[in-house]
Amino acid sequence: MSDFAALEKRLCTQICRGQVSHAYIFCGRNAEEQALCFAAALLCPSRPISGHVCWHCASCRHVSAASHPDCRFVDPVNGVHRADSMRRLVMEAGLSASMGVGKIFIIRAADKITEEAANTLLKLLEEPAADTTLILLCAQPDALLPTIISRCQLFMLGTDWGLEPQLSPDMLHAAEDFLQDLPRLAIYQVLIKARDFEKDREGQVLFFLCLLKILHAAVRAEIELPMGQAAALRSANMLESCLEMMDKNVNQKLLADVVYLRLWQNSQR
């Protein structure tokens, strides 16, 4: 367990400042690993300052062995979370922690959930139990109800937004301005905007990458966009698929229209 990655810096900062939220959504490649690190760090008597979880004390060893009484995984049954298991979760969240520090529930595949179960979970998110932290793991956060997403802190972990050539600060500003103004633009103005890079395929890709970077920042709540976190995430996913298509031989003009129109639709709430 000692070769576990260190705890994500932003999570460590929250622990150090005593600003731990009652609910998180972790997505991405390192989501489960980070959830365990976070659980260990929250329950460890010597809370990490550097981001390196101790993994030596009894509490940390129990977390790593999945035997800690206050850190429980909630798995889907036959591929789906049903209402009865969410009701059990609500009941257990109401009990006091066995070891007194707090309770953590890590919900695997949280996007595989029935509507009834999601509503039960939603009640727990609206009225969080004392000393309880919920961590929802999921591959596709946009499959979650927006009402659930909006009540959790969303962390995209270990995702490799790699494809990032030098993005010019001017272009990043233009991309952010565009996303900030978007809800107020009329469709025709959006379509005119889609013509900006008509004869400049490389410029178009760079501007899309700038938009993507801003959207990811909004998903991580580092900046605020009028469309909100959930729509920013939908938009980022859409833009990523479109960027993949840009590599293939698609009609760039048509693709740009689609991107701008979808962004505009996502911005209308």
What's the gap between Cα 80 and its chain centre?
Answer: 20
Smallest gap from residue 80 Cβ to Zn ion (A): 34
Smallest gap from residue 228 Cβ to Zn ion (A): 37
* Identified binder of Zn ion from the candidate list 1, 6, 16, 57, rule CB under 5 A: 57
- Residue in the structure block whose two tokens are 């600060």: 169
**Tokens encoding 240:** 């990523």
Smallest gap from residue 49 Cβ to Zn ion (A): 13
Task: Return the closest-CA partner of residue 114 out of 145, 153, 155, 158.
Answer: 145
The yes or no reply on residue 39 touching Zn ion (CB under 5 A) is: no
Cβ atoms < 10 Å from Cβ of 127: 10
Strand order in the sheet with 132-137: 71-74, 103-107, 132-137, 23-27, 153-156
Smallest gap from residue 54 Cβ to Zn ion (A): 3
* Identified binder of Zn ion from the candidate list 15, 27, 37, 60, rule CB under 5 A: 60
The yes or no reply on residue 144 touching Zn ion (CB under 5 A) is: no
Cβ proximity to Zn ion: between 98 and 140 the closer is 98
The yes or no reply on residue 145 touching Zn ion (CB under 5 A) is: no
The yes or no reply on residue 54 touching Zn ion (CB under 5 A) is: yes
Taken as a whole, the chain contains a residue count of 269
Q: What CA–CA distance (Å, rounded) separates 116 from 226?
A: 30
Smallest gap from residue 41 Cβ to Zn ion (A): 8
Cβ proximity to Zn ion: between 48 and 228 the closer is 48
**Contacting residues for 121 by C-beta, under 8 A, at least 6 apart:** 81, 86, 89, 107, 113, 148
The yes or no reply on residue 174 touching Zn ion (CB under 5 A) is: no
> How many of the chain's residues bind Zn ion (CB under 5 A)?
4
The yes or no reply on residue 44 touching Zn ion (CB under 5 A) is: yes
Per CB under 5 A, residues contacting Zn ion are: 44, 54, 57, 60
